[in-house]
Amino acid sequence: MILLFIDGVGLGEESDHNPWYVRPTPHIDRLLGGRSLVRGAVGQIGSDMVLLETDATLGVPGLPQSATGQATIFTGRNAPKAMGAHQSGLPFQRLRKWVQADNIYLQMERRGWRATFLNCYTPEYFQRPATRRGWVSVSTAALLSSREPVRMLSELLAGKGVYHDLTRWTLARKIPDVPVIEPETAVDHLLDVARQYDLVIHEYFLSDLAGHKQDEELMRTVIDHYDRWLGALVDRKQTDDVIVLVSDHGNSEDIRVSTHTDNPVPTWIIGDAHTWREIPHQKWDLTCIVPLLLRLVEKRHITTS
């Protein structure tokens, strides 16, 4: 079971200002029956795949933001509603504590299941003054509340984790001795780890960065690497594996703006096109992701017991 958390990818239109439509994405197109990752592709694609339109606004005015969007994905609770507004960037203390009180890792632990965060950190990250003061991402705060270990540079170099950019190219700029790998090699590393867990989580946020910077060159790299990564992941997964892709907000699907968007975001389920219907919901939104993951893991345990 794999959750890939795509940061900053909304379901945009088939237009010149949407890089996810303009740029070549042969693997995504193959999976979506010839369509790009756009709003028009929403629906069931074959017997084991579905692309859902997902509300990231969560009934709260304003543009969806990273801190509360991620908090909702990791907890299954409406973070912007609880906080009274969408919150951007790194979460303030109140939201961090709210996330650490209950999240997907803790919910998995209570059921006797294991989830892990595949992203690897450098020692320098935890030495930063801001990190020491508690300024960490929602994904990091959630992990630190659990019993699961933090993956470091040693695990990355041993192929026991994946860097946030998949190929390590941004890390190699800071540490030249770190070898850059291909997106397909990152898939091999992910799958080697995934077999030991019920749920593996990876956060990819360069898509959000490229959108904020309106950097077309970075966007080309992001889309190419992500498309190759996803294609290899789907081709190499086992029959009973399920891939769930979701984003906390829109951004990079509209290169005209440097802000987030209020576009719906994708929930792309590959390997199980039906379980989402078992999740109680009036409208499919980010609060549905944790219940979906728990139900998928539960069904897998029932099948193998």
How far is it, in rounded angstroms, from Cα 152 to Cα 264?
34
Cβ atoms 253, 208 nearer than 8 A = no
Residue type, 140: T
List the structure tokens of 99. 């996330």
Pull the structure tokens for residue 68: 């509360």
User: How many of the other CB atoms lie within 10 Å of CB of 180?
Assistant: 14
Q: What share of the chain is helix, strand, coil (3-state, %, to 5)?
A: 45, 15, 40
SS3 for 169-206, per residue? HHHHHHCCCCCCCCHHHHHHHHHHHHCCCCEEEEEECH
Number of H helices and E strands in the chain, helices first, is: 15, 9
Distance between CA atoms of residues 14 and 195, nearest Å: 37
Sheet holding 265-270, edge to edge: 43-44, 49-54, 265-270, 243-246, 2-6, 199-204, 115-117
What's the CA gap between 276 and 291, in Å, rounded?
9
| One-letter identity of residue 44 | Q
Nearest alpha carbon to residue 246 among 1, 8, 17:
8
Q: Going by C-beta distance under 8 Å and a sequence separation of 6 or more, which residues neighbour residue 31? A: 45, 49, 230, 231, 234, 270
Q: What is the pLDDT along the chain (305 residues), one digit of tens a residue?
A: 788 888 889 999 999 999 999 999 999 999 999 999 999 999 999 899 999 999 999 999 999 999 999 999 999 999 999 999 999 989 999 999 999 999 999 999 999 999 999 999 999 999 999 999 999 999 999 999 999 999 999 999 999 999 999 999 999 999 999 999 999 999 999 999 999 999 999 999 999 999 999 999 999 999 999 999 999 999 999 999 999 999 999 999 999 999 999 999 999 999 999 999 999 999 999 999 999 999 999 999 988 76
pLDDT value of residue 57? 98
pLDDT of residue 1: 78
- Find all residues with CB under 8 Å of 229, minimum gap 6, and list them: 166, 183, 184, 186, 187
**pLDDT at residue 303, as a whole number:** 81
- Return the structure tokens found at 234: 């789907």
Distance between CA atoms of 168 and 101, rounded to whole angstroms? 32
What do you get for the CA distance between the two ends of the chain, in Å? 17
Q: Residue 269 in 3-state DSSP?
A: strand
Predicted pLDDT of residue 4 = 87
Rounded to two decimals, what is the model's pTM? 0.96
Sign of the torsion formed by the C-alpha atoms of 2, 79, 266 and 251: negative
Tokens (6 digits) for 193: 């780890």
Alpha helices, DSSP H, located in the chain: 19-22, 26-31, 66-75, 79-83, 93-101, 104-110, 123-127, 129-132, 138-144, 153-157, 169-174, 183-194, 206-213, 216-236, 289-304
- CB neighbour burial string for 28-42, b if at least 16 within 10 angstroms, e if fewer: bbebbeebbbbbebb
* pLDDT at residue 292, rounded to an integer: 97
